Every structure is written in structure tokens, then in C-alpha cells.
Structure 1
Amino acid sequence: MPDFVFRVIDRAGAPARLAIDAASEAEAIETIKRRGLILLGAAPRRGAFLLALLNRDIGGAPRLGADALADFTRELAAMLGAGLDLERALRFAAGTAATPRVRAIILAICDKVRDGAALWRALGHEPHSFPPFYVGLVRAGEESGALAATLEDLAELLERNRSLRAAMIAGLTYPALLALAATGAIVFLLTNVLPEFVPIFAENGVPLPATTRLLLTIGQACAASWPYALALFALAIPGIRLLLARPAPRLRFDRLVLRLPLLGALLREALAARFTRTLGTLLGNGVALVPAMAIVQNVIGNRAAARAIATAADAARHGKGLAAGLAAARLMPERTVQLLRLGEETGQLGRMALRAAAIHEERARLGVQKLVSLLVPAITIVMGGAIGFIVASLLLAMLGLDALAH
């Protein structure tokens, strides 16, 4: 039988790797749950990054996207809060699904619930759609008898993450398009407009100024090399994806991204918001600190941040405190560390984590606005300067032609 390798939280609350022989992934997951372990996800195996890349292009099991997951959670919470039983609520969510793929996933969950499975177990059979923190929260909600309230918290978490991500993408899209348009305009002037004047100067024997010759050389290089640049770009995309699928290069890349000027500070705020929002939601729904940290570590989306969280979790496990571990890692903003330290001292860690999340989410949105306010004028000035230099070089040559005529 195939050997499946998973990341789990053992009975002592520590992260671990577990290899299981099973006929299918679903059977292996069921074995983990019978042992009372918390599933975090599939562990990478040698060559798995290449297989994952190929499978992504070939196809695979259907999955819920982030938007569909947030919508499903909000609808299910609303239906349960209105008094519907779980099976009817799932069927309602399936009936309002936006796509056949989403409907098929929800109906598969509904069938398992109708056969007597708990909701969290049914969700666990769809690991590509429902991440470990989601399944863990639903399990805590079912066991405490507060499933509707837990789903409300989950929906709030997912929607805030979606809102922050959308705000960052929307804010950075305009500067990116402006930079692309500016580059295209400059390349067009160099490769199509400026060369049209060369025969005129050649016929009249007017030597071109040094700046004009330089621009012509750059334009000729762009015109001659663009097919090779396009081919190199097409080859670089899968190559970079393959490289970043490996743990060590991805860790170095994630560290580098967080140290970038301007953008790095913005990303650290966004990571702090996601970390504290997820941690606060988990703690508020009865998940213990160490398992909650292990779950957050696997959903944070940045290897450098995940390593810092692992360091903090180890410190908390040995009684040194969560805030002390985060301070030692020197990755999270100081505000995060101080608010969590206050939460530990007052016994309200979950509540303070959610308050910290609200602060970091607002700072991330303000950071996007500030970054856009800096980038747009900077790009405009650079574009204007480059185009002005091209026009000035052309005018210098034309002045030489006018002097020859007189």
C-alpha cells in the first residue's frame, strides 16, 4: 500500500511527522483521527514539489477557493443560527452554490453527515478545500455544542482575511499597471518612433548627438532581444515555481520579501494581522495554545513567519511565554509582542490577539494607501523624465539639422 506522510500534533501537543500505510489518503486521514491526533496537512516528500506542479496543470480533486469557502461558512452559520438542522443547512448551501464544483463538494459532505459522520470528520475528507485550522475549529464547536457561533467566528476570520487581501491587491494593482504602461510607452518610443528620424539625418549628413546614438542603441537592443526575453520569461516562471517549492530556497525568499523597503513593513503588518486573527479565533473557541500555534504555523503562508511562530510555540511549551518567544524571533512587529504579553499577563490572550488583529488590519490598509501615494508620483516622475530625455535627444538632433540648413 502507498505510504502517506502527514504533519500532525501529537497527544503531548507537539508537532510531529507521521507515516501511514493506507490504500488511500482518506483512509490515512481516518487513521490519524482514530488515534486522537490533530491533522495539520500533508508533509513534503522527496520529489513531491515536482509532482505537485505537474498535478496542478494536469488536474486533480475539486477544491473550494478562498471566496467560496468564506461564502459557504457564512451561509452555513446563518442557516444553523436560524434553527435548521445540519443536513438541511448543508443542502441549502449546496442549492445556492455558485458553481457545480462547489455544489459537488458540499453535497459530498452532506452525504457523509446524513450517514452519521460528524461535520468535522466529513470536512476532513476534503483536505484540499478545508484547511486544518478550519476542521479543528469546527470540531471544537461541535464538541462544545456551539457550532453556529463557531462558524460565525470562522466566517468573520475568513472574510477579514479576504477583505485585507483584496485591499492590498486593489491598492497595488494601479501602480503595477502604471509601471507597465510607462515601460511600454518608453519601449515604443525607442523602437518605433526614434528610428524613423534616422534616415532624415543621414540624408543631410547631420551627425547624431551622443545621447541620441545611445538611445538608438538601446532601442535596437530591445527590438532584437525581445523574442529571447519573452522565451526566457516563459521558462523562468515554472523554474521559479519549482525552486520556491523547495523548503530552503522558499525560506530564504520569504525572509528577503519581509526585509524589502516599504513593501516588507506592509507585509509584516499583514502577516501579524493574519497570525493574531487566526490565533484569537482558535483560542476563543476552546483550542489550547500549543495546538493553536501549530495550526497557525501551517496556515500563515510565509516560511520565515512559520519558523518564528514555531520558536514561540516551543517557548510557550516550556513555560517561557508566547510573547517572549515572538520577541526572540524578531519578526513580528513590537506592537504584536506587547499586546500578546499583556494578554498573557491578564489571562485574556485570545481577546487581546483579536484586538491586535484589528489594529494590524487597519495599519495594513493604511500602509497600502501610503505605499500607493508614494509609488504613483514616483512612477509618473520617472516616466516623465525618461520620455522627456528621449524628446530632448531628438530635439538636439533636429537643432543640428536646422543649423545645417541655415
Structure 2
Amino acid sequence: MPGSVWHYRAVNSEGVVVTGERTAADEAQVLAFLRQKKMMALEVRPASKMGLNSTGSSWFSVLRKARFRQSEIADFTRKLATMLGAGLDLDRALKFLGETAPSDKIRTLITGLRDRVRDGASFADSLENAGGVFSRLYVGLVRAGEAGGALYDALERLADLLERERKLTTTIQSAMIYPTVLLVASTGSVALLLTHVLPQFVPLFEENGVALPVMTRIVIAAGDLLTHWGAVILLMIIAAVLGARTLLKRPEIRLRVDYALLKGPIIGTLLRNVMAAQLTRTLGTLLHNGVPLVGALRIVGGVVGNRAGAQALVKATSAVREGGSLALSLEKDALYPQEMTHFLRVGEETAQLASIALRAADVHEEAVRVTVQRLLAVLVPAITIIMGLVVAAIVSALLLAMLSLNDLAH
């Protein structure tokens, strides 16, 4: 059967991303060609849409439609590392995990991986062709572990990395639940006062022809606005949010917004520490598994969520490839915490960049936790006080009007 043309993106031994095309019967031949050239595949897909899909298998194309949570991937990784550490070979470990999978989609994933491995594919290639379920970082670490005969160690470090990332994300999300609920409940209470409670007093004021205080007139006007235009205002807010999300999809706007956020006084400190924790944890893990520095930095660029931080990392990668210092390059942009760049400089000077980067990650993850706690300690009382003042203003406006009625009666 004549071969088809395949397009590929890969990282060569110097850490440079290269693209090209290769005529081959299937995706496996393209991957074998890239391994022979000592390149790590990032993407392999048919040059024509009439060819096979990028997974090379209809089995794994099903996985593209499934959504896998980070916790599910971390749990699978930890269990697989435990099985390998207990002395099981990869085939038996995958068989056991497939039989005890907590859901059908996990079972489908593991069964497909095991079938690929039994057909002769490497575990890294099987992961890479699993419909995009596993990230470049994940595949790269496993490939390095397989090449060095240390798959168990690679999976252990991967599990640690995924669990720490999940913990970091959960810390921020959990901390914002209470302030969000408090804000929504308080806003709802104020809206209820303005649209349902206050209007019941308005006819009383109008019947007696009392001259209402300025504060009362303002509150009544606000209630009328919400009553008659509340739905329109809500739709405008929703439209504004959707419009902002659409604008943020434009790279140049997202870059400016991310840069401005990093320079903020409180949120900026939190985001810089989150970014530093992501960079150092991922970089240290990759280096510990034998991934070259330039290649590791390119993978890390896809982990850092802030566009401005990722752009600074791209500049630093170019500087390192030309023989420069990673720490000095990051210091020039002044987007990452100075403490992180000092850690990296020490790591470069002592040739212990991997271990120092992991220690820096511990420091910045703790800094994130402390910052979130402090932010929460300020945010909750602030919301309570502000909403309390708003409610007090509404009640005061009513009392002033009632006093005016009383004066009129006398």
C-alpha cells in the first residue's frame, strides 16, 4: 500500500523545535524515524485531512471526546508507579489497573495503552498517541525514564508533580469559594431589599405628599432602576463578560492583560509566585529525569499559564541556547520573583539546578498558600463591611423617610 504524507513537529537534541514532512505507511513509522534522528515528537498528523487522524487509531480517537481530570491522571500515575515499584512488569501493572479502573473511560484508556504496549510500541509512544490525554511534559518524562531504564522513578516524580499542581490549584480555588458565595448572597439580599421591600413603602410616602430626603430619593431611584431594567442590566453584564473572554483570546490583548496582572500589588504577587512554582517544579522534575535544559525549558513554556511569563521564558530559552544564563535572562524581564532567580543562579553556579529548582518550588508553593490565606483574611471582612454599609444605607433611607412622615403628622 503506498505511503501517505505525514506532517510532524519535534524537538531535536539541541532543544530546537523543528517541523517537516515524511512519507510513511502509518504514524508508527514516522515516530520511529524521529527516534532514529534523536528527536522527541510533539505532533504527528496527516498532511491531508483525508488521511488517518493524529492518534493513528480510531480506538484512541474516542478518547479525544472524553474529558480527563488532572486528579484522574495523577491517580493513574501514582498507582502505576506503585505497581512497578512492587516488582510487576508494565503489562501486568496495566492489566491490574484496567481491571480495577474506577470508570469506563479510565478502563478504555488503560486497555488501549496496554494493547499498544503488547503490540510492541514503547509506553511513551502509547501515551503520545492516546488522543491528547497526556501532555508533552508527561510523555517527555516517560520517554526519558524509559530511555534511562528508570520508568518507575519517572512515574514517581510525575505523580508528585501532578499532585502538587493539583494541590496548588485547589488551594486557590477553595479559598475563593467562601468570598464568592458571600458576595453573591450579599448582592442578592441588597437586590431583594431594593426591588421588593422598598417599593412597599413608596405608596405610603406618595399618598402623604411628604418631601423625601435626598438619600431616600436616591435609594428609591436605584430600586426603580433594578425593578424595570434589572434584566437588561444582567444581560449587559453577561454580554460584557462574554465580550471580554472573546477579546482575551486575541494573543496581543491577552499578553497585555497578563502583563498588567503580574504588575498588580496583591494579585500580581500571588500570580508571580504561582508562575514561579509552576516553572521551578516542572523544570526540576524534567532535569532530574535527564531531559536537557533547553528541551526542558521549551516544555516548561507550555506549563506556565501567564502569557507574559511564557514570553519571558522563551527569551530565556534563546539566551540559554546561545550559552547565556537562565537566571540573568529572567531577571531582565523582572516578571518572576527575585527570590526564584536567585535560587536558579545558585543552581547554575553549583551545577545543581535540578535539586535547587525543586527547593525553590517548595518555597514558592508555601508563599502561594500564605498569600491566599492573607488575601482571604482581608477579602471576607471587606465584603462583609461593604455590604453591611450598603444595607445600613438602605435602612437609614427608609428611617429618614419615616421620620419625615412623623414630622408631617405633627
Flag whether TM exceeds 0.5 (same fold).
yes
Structure 1 counterpart of 2:301, from 290, 297, 304: 297
Q: Any gaps of 5 or more consecutive residues in structure 1?
A: 44-58
Q: Which sits farther off after the overlay, 345-354 or 179-188?
A: 179-188
Structure 1 counterpart of 2:102, from 93, 98, 101: 98
**Contact persistence 1:297–1:310 (CA under 8 A):** yes
Q: Any gaps of 5 or more consecutive residues in structure 2?
A: 46-62
Please tell me whether residue 13 in structure 1 is matched to residue 15 in structure 2: yes
Q: What root-mean-square deviation, in Å, do the aligned CA atoms of Structure 1 and Structure 2 show?
A: 2.6
Q: Which sits farther off after the overlay, 281-290 or 11-20?
A: 11-20
Report the counterpart of residue 269 of structure 1 in structure 2: 273
Report the counterpart of residue 186 of structure 2 in structure 1: 182
**Contact persistence 1:63–1:102 (CA under 8 A):** no
Report the counterpart of residue 307 of structure 1 in structure 2: 311
Distance, in Å, in 1 between the alignment partners of 2:353 and 2:150 is 21
Report the counterpart of residue 85 of structure 1 in structure 2: 89
TM-score by length of 1: 0.89
Letter in 2 for 1:14: V
The residue matched to 2:312 in structure 1 has which SS?
helix
Letter in 2 for 1:191: T
Distance, in Å, in 2 between the alignment partners of 1:4 and 1:399 is 83
Distance, in Å, in 2 between the alignment partners of 1:264 and 1:7 is 34
Structure 2 counterpart of 1:131, from 135, 138, 147: 135
The residue matched to 1:299 in structure 2 has which SS?
coil
CA deviations over 1:287-331 (Å, ceiling 9, x no partner): 010000000001222211111111111111111111011111211
* Equivalent runs, 1:3-402 vs 2, <5 Å: 8-16=10-18, 35-40=37-42, 60-236=64-240, 238-402=242-406
Q: 1:30 to 1:252 in 2, by over 3 A?
A: farther
Report the counterpart of residue 56 of structure 2 in structure 1: none
The residue matched to 1:130 in structure 2 has which SS?
coil
Letter in 2 for 1:370: R
Q: 1:371 to 1:119 in 2, by over 3 A?
A: same
TM-score by length of 2: 0.88
Distance, in Å, in 2 between the alignment partners of 1:252 and 1:2 is 42
CA deviations over 1:199-224 (Å, ceiling 9, x no partner): 11111111221111111111221222
The residue matched to 2:212 in structure 1 has which SS?
coil
Letter in 2 for 1:179: L
Letter in 2 for 1:361: E
Report the counterpart of residue 53 of structure 1 in structure 2: none
Letter in 1 for 2:139: V
**Contact persistence 2:8–2:19 (CA under 8 A):** yes
**Contact persistence 1:90–1:107 (CA under 8 A):** yes
% of aligned pairs identical? 46
Distance, in Å, in 2 between the alignment partners of 1:127 and 1:32 is 19
Letter in 1 for 2:371: G
CA deviations over 1:51-82 (Å, ceiling 9, x no partner): xxxxxxxx953242211110010000000000
Distance, in Å, in 2 between the alignment partners of 1:185 and 1:228 is 19
